């Protein structure tokens, strides 16, 4: 009799204890008839952060959710809609992480989504071997450069083979991977006539090259040097400086006096920018954001503009009310690695400017003092946020590898002026001129 009584009692105690404790365990995500779900995806990672996309279904809003990284909570947030973007920061380069989201349904029940894993971007090397070429005698200078591919690089400017007078004038040269071939393109004068003009800027649109002279004459050129057409651009003000575009046969041309010209594939259009400050550089993002910057030394006024719809708007100008912090009046170079940020040279520093939050800027490197690069940057280009080169006044030539900066002491800081730089996956070309005895146009290049 005692044995028969003990077993039912033990069974009831075990059943009651199991029922009591089961409600405190995280709810399983296994049942096939579940309608609530958390779906987390990694949109992208960079060196020190990750952007995650979360989609939810069948949950009650507002919902309290937690994001974990490697099983450790990093964010707790309230969700009011099915989809959201999460950004996890303070990560380490070249490191794998696993993220997971959990919904707190009640005080004692939880729903966990499937974990996702990805790796942050790695840094790049600073170790490069540089080579120096010259394409002209004293008085020659190079103003811009474009990389078509590993065996086709173009530079433009003003080159002469004679030390006095200019017996032979050139305004462009093409590098085939072994030697340089010089060209003397005849760009139209206005109102009539033609002769080799100093070419101010060059742009490769993915199929052909476009060049502009200081007075607005232009040529469309095949990568082998064949001229497809020439003309004169009336739809501009001042001197053309730089070009940018993300479609074949279309681009923006920025110049002095606040000039901005759009070429739509068949015609030029002058676009008002709201400023008369000289533009010195222009760049855009893969999504089509377009930004330009520049300054006028005689007035001490710098400017930063961006395309807003069909027009441009001034987002910073020295001396006018602005939400920007950290900008100096010298704004001479601009570049973007992605759809999130624009990098702007400002007073020998770099300002990282978020595209969607124009009032928030970061001085880069963090807490850098004025004059980090010693002198003004004239060119800033790269392949990504872990591979950026800077070239400028009095021999400035630096590289950022995603974590640290390195200065290359290859250019004579007293007699070298670098005007532009182009960067591809395998090559870097920084162009300019030397104003020392016997020096002319200079090209610092490396093959990686």
Determine, yes or no, domain membership for 15. no
CA dist 366 to 49, 295, 349, 426, 444, Å? Answer: 16, 24, 10, 29, 29
Structural domain boundaries, residue 241:
130-447
Same domain, 46 and 195: no
Same domain, 161 and 198: yes
pLDDT value of position 325: 61
DSSP 263: E
Same domain, 57 and 202: no
Determine, yes or no, domain membership for 59. yes
Determine, yes or no, domain membership for 234. yes
Q: For residue 162, give the CATH number of its domain.
A: 2.130.10.10
pLDDT value of position 432: 94
Same domain, 212 and 82: no
Same domain, 246 and 384: yes
Determine, yes or no, domain membership for 228. yes
Mean pLDDT, 10 residues at a time, over the chain (448 residues)?
42 40 42 74 92 94 95 95 94 95 89 95 92 87 96 94 68 95 86 73 97 95 97 94 95 97 96 96 92 94 90 89 72 92 88 80 72 86 95 90 89 84 96 81 88
pTM of the model: 0.84
∠ CA 415-445-413, nearest 5°, is: 20
Strands (E), 161-239: 169-175, 180-183, 186-188, 194-196, 199-204, 209-213, 217-221, 227-232
pLDDT value of position 437: 64
Cα–Cα nearest to 318, from 348, 341, 291, 297? 297
- Residue 235 parent element (H or E): none
Same domain, 47 and 134: no
Same domain, 294 and 351: yes
Same domain, 216 and 363: yes
Same domain, 115 and 134: no
pLDDT value of position 138: 83
pLDDT value of position 292: 97
Final residue before a domain boundary, out of 119, 140, 164: 119
Find residue 109's DSSP bridge partners. Answer: none
Q: Which strands form 260-263's sheet, in the order they lie side by side?
A: 240-247, 250-255, 260-263, 268-271
pLDDT value of position 9: 40
Q: How many residues does this entry show for the chain?
A: 448
Determine, yes or no, domain membership for 162. yes
Determine, yes or no, domain membership for 241. yes
CA dihedral 54, 59, 61, 65 (to 10 degrees): -50
pLDDT value of position 1: 43
Q: How many domains does the chain have?
A: 2
CA dihedral 222, 227, 228, 234 (to 10 degrees): 110
Which CB contacts under 8 angstroms, 24+ apart, belong to 214-219? 214/239, 214/240, 215/189, 215/190, 215/239, 216/190, 216/240, 217/187, 217/188, 217/189, 217/190, 218/187, 219/185, 219/187
Final residue before a domain boundary, out of 100, 119, 138: 119
Determine, yes or no, domain membership for 19. no
What 3-state DSSP class applies to 49?
Answer: coil
Final residue before a domain boundary, out of 58, 88, 119: 119
CA dihedral 264, 266, 272, 278 (to 10 degrees): 90
Same domain, 97 and 238: no
Same domain, 218 and 110: no
Q: For residue 100, give the CATH number of its domain.
A: 2.60.40.10
pLDDT value of position 22: 38
Determine, yes or no, domain membership for 265. yes
Quick count: other Cβ atoms within 10 Å of Cβ 211? 28
Same domain, 87 and 195: no
d(CA 201, CA 236): 14
């Amino acid at each position: 009799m005692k044995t028969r009584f003990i077993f039912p009692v033990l069974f009831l105690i075990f059943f009651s204890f199991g029922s009591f404790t089961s409600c405190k365990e995280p709810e399983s995500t296994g049942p096939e008839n579940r309608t609530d779900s958390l779906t987390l995806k990694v949109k992208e990672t960079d060196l020190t952060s990750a952007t995650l996309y979360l989609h939810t279904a069948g949950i009650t809003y507002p919902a309290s959710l937690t994001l974990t990284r490697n099983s450790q909570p990093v964010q707790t947030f309230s969700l009011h809609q099915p989809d959201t973007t999460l950004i996890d920061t303070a990560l380490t380069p070249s490191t794998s992480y696993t993220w997971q989201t959990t919904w707190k349904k009640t005080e004692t029940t939880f729903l966990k989504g499937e974990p996702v894993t990805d790796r942050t971007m790695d840094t790049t090397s600073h170790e490069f071997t540089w080579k120096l070429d010259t394409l002209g005698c004293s008085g020659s200078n190079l103003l811009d450069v474009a990389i078509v591919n590993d065996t086709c690089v173009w530079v433009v400017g003003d080159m002469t083979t004679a030390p006095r007078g200019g017996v032979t004038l050139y305004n462009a040269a093409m590098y085939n991977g072994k030697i340089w071939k010089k060209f003397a393109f005849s760009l139209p004068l206005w109102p009539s006539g033609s002769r080799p003009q100093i070419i101010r800027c060059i742009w490769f649109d993915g199929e052909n090259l476009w060049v502009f002279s200081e007075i607005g004459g232009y040529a469309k050129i095949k990568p082998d040097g064949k001229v497809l057409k020439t003309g004169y651009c009336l739809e501009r003000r001042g001197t053309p400086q730089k070009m940018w575009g993300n479609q074949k046969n279309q681009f923006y041309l920025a110049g002095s006096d606040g000039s901005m010209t759009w070429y739509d594939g068949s015609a030029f259009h002058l676009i008002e920018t709201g400023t008369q400050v000289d533009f010195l550089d222009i760049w855009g993002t893969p999504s089509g954001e377009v930004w330009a910057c520049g300054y006028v030394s005689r007035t001490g006024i710098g400017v930063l503009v961006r395309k807003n719809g069909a027009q441009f708007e001034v987002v910073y100008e020295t001396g006018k009310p602005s939400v920007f912090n950290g900008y100096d009046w010298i704004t001479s170079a601009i570049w973007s690695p992605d759809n999130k940020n624009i990098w702007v040279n400002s007073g020998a520093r770099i300002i990282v400017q978020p595209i969607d939050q124009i009032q928030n800027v970061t001085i880069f490197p963090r807490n850098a003092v004025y004059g980090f690069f010693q002198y003004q940057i004239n060119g800033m280009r790269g392949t990504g946020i872990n591979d950026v080169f800077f070239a400028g006044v009095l021999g400035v030539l630096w590289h950022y590898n995603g974590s640290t900066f390195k200065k290359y002491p290859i250019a004579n800081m007293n007699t070298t002026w670098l005007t532009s730089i182009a960067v591809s996956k395998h090559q870097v070309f920084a162009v300019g001129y030397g104003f020392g005895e016997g020096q002319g146009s200079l090209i610092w290049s490396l093959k990686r």
